[in-house]
Amino acid sequence: MDALLIIAAWTGLAALAAWGMQRQAGATAPLAAPFLGGGTPDTHAWQRYHFRPYTMALVFIAFEMEMMFMYPWAVVFVREGAKALAEMGMFLGILSVGLLYGWREGIFRWQ
Amino acid sequence: MSWLRTLAAGAAAPIYPSIGAGMLAEVEQLFASAPGLRRAASPRDAALLLVAGDIPAEARPALDRLHDQLPHPRRTLAWKAGEPSTQISARLNEAWRDLAHGAPSEPDRLPDEPPNPWRGIGPHGQGGKGMMGGTPRGRPMAMTGADIRDGLELDRYTARVGPFAPMLPPGLTLELTLQGDVIVEAHVLSLPFPQPEEADLPALCAARMLRLLGLEGAADRMTRGHAPRAAWIRGAVPAGLGAWPGAGDARDRLDAWLSGRQEGGAPRDPARALPGLEWHEATLLLASFAPGTLRRALAEAQDLQEIPA
Amino acid sequence: MSVLLAAGVLVALALGIWLGAWFDRLAPALEGGRAAGPMAPLRDWAALLIRDQAETEAPDRMNRLLAPAWYLALAAIGLSVVPVAEGLALWHSPVGIVVWGSCEALIVITVFLHGWSPNAPFPLIGAYRYAAIGLPVMLPSMFVLIAAALPAESLSLIAIVDSQRDSWNLVRQPLGLPLFLVVGLTLTLRGPLDFAGGVDIAGGTSAEESGAGLFLWQVARLATLVAFSALAAAVFLGGPLGPLLPGPVWLALKTALVMALTVLAGRLIARTTPSRMLHVLWVWLLPLSFAHLAVSGMVAL
Amino acid sequence: MTDLAIILLALFGVWTGWRVFRVDSMVRASFALMLSFIATAGIGLLLSAPYIGVATVFMMAVEMLVMAIFMVMFMMNPAGLNPMSMVHQHRLSIGAGVVAFAGLGAAVLLSDLPDSPVAPGTDVVAQLGFELLGPSMLIFETAGVTLLATMLGAVILSSRQGRFGMADHGSRPPGLEPGGAPAGRRPEKGGGHGHGHGGHGGHGDGGHGRASDDHGGEHRGHMSDGDHEGHAGYSPDGAMGAPGPEHGATHRTPAKSEHGGEHRTAHGPGHAPQDQKAADAPQEDAAPNADPHAHHRKGTGHDGDDT
């Protein structure tokens, strides 16, 4: 309960500050034009944006999901000792194969 | 709120320089050493527009567009060749103090018209029809094309960048088509403005690259004539970027500048090397040639292209 | 009590923001430039506040307005789980480091929104670049924080501080702080990991920002610097533990130290191209944090 | 008090969930969905499941960001500049929604929910850890293998540049001895490589999928050929091929010409008619399909025409 109150309070305060301080008045067309060093664009900037490391993003999601298992593991690691070490070693070992494969296929860069 | 204005008047003056012919080195020296001035990364962050040197007539419309992109309050100051930097520095500081204390702002130079008429057009008055049609809110939407790296048919964004873009040599205007942040097409619309030889000094050339590598402080230090203090300068430039026979790659050229040597080789048609490069790589590539060398190479390439046509 | 503590956190955050801004203005002295006085940050902010905020063409107005607010709020939430004295935090979360991890993930989203909302090319490039780098940076962060949780046998920051009574994690897990600094540089958009900004994209996500919007964004960046530094101080430098002086003073001193370190690292290390940095993160930093976790595990046993 | 908070969070979750379908912008839709998940996470927090609650926020934040990126990448009108509807197939979705709601509602109302409040001071996270290392070990390790399969699948389906060249050109390892047949298994219908357009490594792929595929795909092979509207060969490590003298004249060709036409200029005269035919045929069905793994399917599908 406290946690939710704290989160709500900080978020609310910050949003109020942002709302109160900023005034986005309607600008004239030349003032609103996007900055291109004096140049002009043909189209809106919003587009089907080509996000280059898309394969990386997919692998990242899988890897991150796996990391979530490690938090509870960390808590009992010292108490469980070698068993915990072996199990997590196996788990991480399996997943490192995925990373190695990704690295060999060259996904960790702009496609 | 007069206390706020008094406080603001004591701040460094936020300036966006539009650099014309012959003033590149002087503007760089000004911002590296004059007190109380701050070079803004974009005109949105600036209150003063410094027009340094002569701006050719072709670049005037671009200058007007740039001027209108400074938020209010704003003011323009011209810096003609021959005026000592202490004097322009004092003028800039004074102009900022005036503005901070509520001096009137300059009005727009261009008419208040959207790039395309849109109000009241379309089923919701947004300026377009269907999913991709019309000019919603004044501009059309980007359309698809094949990518040159992986062939995905995503949108192509075409825009003209320059002649006063902070990441390009002053005067250079490129018509670029981007897919994401990768350049898929590049054409030179105008050449960089001619600059005196001192703009090609190794220290200044190296400082320009350092700025692109995020080393603002080290770049200022080099501009003032000292060795930079920073880590991973060479390593940050990708090996093999901008390699030309006889000119080495960008990293070699930066190396040469850092050790005080002029780089020797010149590129052939550097604009042709831009497609396929990611934006940061492209700006590094252009900055890895001295302004004079780059201007000559671009001019030669333009001459070559005009003959067969 | 909680209200008092919350007020304390708010004051500490405000002071930290000012200190961080001042550090930024002191740093040029290292490079032979001019160091500014303690009033300089206030003057800079005033200069932003007296100027108008320019609207862009067809922006996502709501997200543009609120992105700085979320950034600021996330910094405050992250700071709330840091113990200010032994056994005392505003938010006694049993999963403090996971809360911090969530704040990291949401900060990446906030920066993305900040670059997306103005509908302009350079902010958009900054937003996507940052998303590409910000996502994988979270992995070293998770490894490092999990390594710190091993000897504490808990995910709570209070327990992690408590576990450092004999020796700080800085000593037991020497790689932790350097790796975590990478995370800090990313979250506070600084130096080698400031892929949301940069001269090559005219300031990136902030390229279209002016006036109060830019002010709030800069303040939020500094607030995140404070939160990150306080967390790093608690995880690696024993937080409020220390002789003679009261706990909060120790925490403040250590936080200031980490802030100075982050500012320095941000200023002195070059930023490479995003594609190369992605490679460095996955191929070098990730295995390094793997190794860090393995070694910390051995030491903890 | 807790009940009230749960009700408020549930209402917030439903409202943001509804917003997902009412906004025009893909980015807003993704992050509205994220807020909905965050509300659920808040309920988890109140139900004494701090780890599950906070981890939900963590996971969903990351996933919704990636989802937003992909939605913007592949959807028309991603920012909603022209008003649009996110809702399709009304009858079917209403039906599915009602069935799902009734089913889940029935499950909640009819099942015998446990009523044993967690004693204060219980270390729930540690219990979760013991569970993972004890009774649920098999599940946990299976999850590892599943995630590995996910990672491999993601790489195989979406990455175009592999170790041995472009995925849609066969991407086959080199021969075991110099000049030998490619190692590894042959793709069922035969890859583009090794089909006898001597010297022109990839040109046999004119028949592959969309013309645009080759357009980008042969990039590597063509580095020195000077076609493709004048880019001087990008190689993946950022190295620039030196633009040779033959880059001259073809460069100023406007980029938006048909792909087929460009190919004619690019290839030698001997190849032209064949390539033209091959490139035109698939272009008919070349709807702007941006799905990365469509390349592979289409590529192999059209391969037969050429060989």
A34-44 pLDDT, tens digit per residue, is 999 999 999 99
Report the b/e string of D139-155 with b at 16+ CB within 10 A.
ebeebbeebbebbbebb
Distance CA B75, CA B70 (A): 9
Give SS3 for D161.
strand
Structure-block tokens of residue C293: 């976790």
Quick count: other Cβ atoms within 10 Å of Cβ A54?
A: 22
Which chain C residue has its CA at the smallest distance from D50's CA?
A: C95
Which residue range forms the structural domain that includes residue A92? 51-111
Range of the domain at D234: 205-306
From B309's Cα to the closest Cα of chain C, the distance in A is 33
B235 touches chain D (CB under 8 A): no
Check A45 against C119: CB less than 8 A apart. yes
Nearest CA in chain C to B180: C125
Burial-class residue D106 by CB neighbours within 10 Å (0-12, 13-18, 19+).
Answer: exposed
The DSSP code sequence of C38-89 is TTHHHHHHHHHHTS-----SS--HHHHHHHHHHHHHHHHHHHHTS-SBTTB-
B228 cis-preceded (ω within 30 degrees of 0): no
D153 inside domain: no
Pairwise CA distance, residues C94 & C98, whole Å = 9
pLDDT above 70 for C201: yes
CA distance readout (Å), C291 to C140, C142, C176, C294: 11, 13, 11, 5
Strand partners for C85: C88
* Domain membership flag for residue D41: yes
- State the total domains in chain D: 2
Q: Which pLDDT score is estimated for B193? A: 92
pLDDT on residue D215 = 38
In a domain, A12, yes or no: no
What percent of chain C clears pLDDT 90, i.e. is strictly above it?
Answer: 70
Count interface pairs A-B at CB distance under 8 A: 125
Q: Do C139 and A78 lie within an 8 Å CB cutoff?
A: no
Using the Cβ of B110 and the Cβ atoms of chain D, whether some distance falls under 8 Å is answered with no
pLDDT of residue B67: 94
Query: Which of D29, D48, D77 is the endpoint of a domain?
Result: D77
Per-residue model confidence (pLDDT) at position B307: 52
Domain count, chain A: 1
Rounded Cα distance, C86 and C238, in Å? 10
Taking CA atoms, what residue in D is nearest to C156? D125
Q: Indicate the residue among D57, D77, D97 that finishes a domain.
A: D77
Q: How far is B127 from chain D (nearest CA, A)?
A: 8
Q: What is the mean pLDDT of residues A30-58?
A: 91
- Cβ-based contacts under 8 A for chains B and D: 135
Q: d(Cα D15, Cα C285) in Å, to the nearest integer?
A: 41
DSSP, collapsed to helix, strand or coil, labels residue B185 as: strand
Chain A 20-49, residues with CB within 8 Å of chain D CB atoms: 44, 46-49
- The verdict on C272 touching B (C-beta cutoff 8 Å) is yes
Residue scoring higher pLDDT (C105 or B265): C105
Asked if B149 has any chain C CB less than 8 Å from its own CB, the reply is no
Q: Which residues 48-67 on chain B approach chain A with CB closer than 8 angstroms?
A: 59, 62-66
Residues 21..80 of A with a Cβ closer than 8 Å to B: which? 28-31, 33, 35-52
pLDDT recorded at residue D206: 34
- What pLDDT score does D125 carry? 87
**Closest Cα of chain A to B164: distance in Å?**
5
Predicted confidence at residue B118, as pLDDT, reads 81
Instruction: Summarize the confidence of residues C176-187 as an average pLDDT.
Output: 94
Alpha helices in chain C (DSSP H): 2-26, 40-49, 61-80, 96-116, 121-152, 157-162, 169-172, 176-187, 211-236, 247-268, 274-280, 286-300
pLDDT of residue C242: 83
**B297 by DSSP, 3-state: which?**
helix
Q: Which domains does chain B have, with CATH numbers?
A: 2-100 (3.40.50.12280), 142-188 (no CATH), 197-306 (no CATH)
Question: CA–CA separation, B206 vs A18, rounded Å?
Answer: 40
Final residue of a structural domain among D30, D58, D77: D77
With CB atoms and an 8 Å threshold, state whether C301 touches A60: no
Look up residue B152 and give its two tokens: 């995905």
* CA distance between the termini of chain C: 38
Select the residue of D74, D217, D230 nearest B272 (Cβ to Cβ).
D230
pLDDT by position in tens, chain B (length 309): 688 999 999 999 999 999 998 899 999 999 988 888 999 999 999 999 999 988 999 999 999 999 999 998 999 999 988 889 999 999 999 999 999 998 899 999 999 888 887 888 877 777 778 777 778 888 888 888 888 877 788 889 999 998 999 999 999 999 999 998 999 999 999 999 999 988 889 999 999 999 999 999 899 999 988 888 888 988 899 988 888 887 788 888 898 899 888 877 788 888 888 998 999 999 999 999 999 889 988 988 887 665 544
Distance CA D53, CA D60 (A): 11
Cβ-based contacts of A3 with chain C (< 8 Å): 91, 93
> Would you call C272 an interface residue with chain D, using a CB distance cutoff of 8 Å?
no
pLDDT tens per residue, chain D (307 residues)? 888 999 999 999 999 999 998 888 899 999 999 999 999 999 999 888 889 999 999 999 999 999 999 999 988 888 888 888 777 888 998 999 999 999 999 998 999 888 877 787 788 888 888 888 888 888 888 888 888 898 888 888 887 766 666 666 655 666 667 766 666 665 555 444 433 333 333 333 333 333 333 333 333 333 333 333 333 333 333 333 333 333 333 333 333 333 333 333 333 333 333 333 333 333 333 334 434 443 433 333 333 333 2
Number of H helices, E strands in chain D: 10, 2
Residues 241-270, chain D: which have Cβ within 8 Å of A? none
Tens of pLDDT along C146-179? Answer: 999 999 888 999 999 999 988 898 888 899 999 9
- Give the chains touching A; criterion: ≥3 Cβ pairs < 8 Å: B, C, D
Instruction: Please report, as a single letter, which amino acid is at residue B206.
Output: A
- Tell me if D23 is assigned to some domain: yes
∠ at Cα B146 (B143, B152), nearest 5°? 100
For testing contact with chain A, the best of D58, D155, D164 (most A CBs within 10 A): D155
Binding partners of C (≥3 Cβ pairs within 8 A): A, B, D
Window A:3-62, CB contacts with C under 8 Å: 3, 6-7, 9-11, 13-15, 17-19, 21-27, 29, 31-37, 41, 44-46, 49, 51-53, 56-57, 60
Chain A positions in Cβ-Cβ contact with residue B113 (cut-off 8 Å) = 29
Alpha-carbon distance of B173 to A39, in angstroms, equals 8
The residue-averaged pLDDT of C75-100 equals 91
Average pLDDT of chain C is 92
Say yes or no for a CB contact (<8 Å) between D229 and B128. Answer: no
Q: Which residues on neighbouring strands pair with residue D165, listed in sequence order?
A: D162
Contacts with C276 from chain D: Cβ below 8 Å? 238
CB-based contact (8 Å) between B148 and chain C?
no
The Cα–Cα gap between B216 and B196 comes to 24
- The rounded distance, in Å, linking the Cα atoms of B205 and B222 is 9
pLDDT digits (tens, 9 = 90+) for C120-139: 999 999 999 999 999 999 99
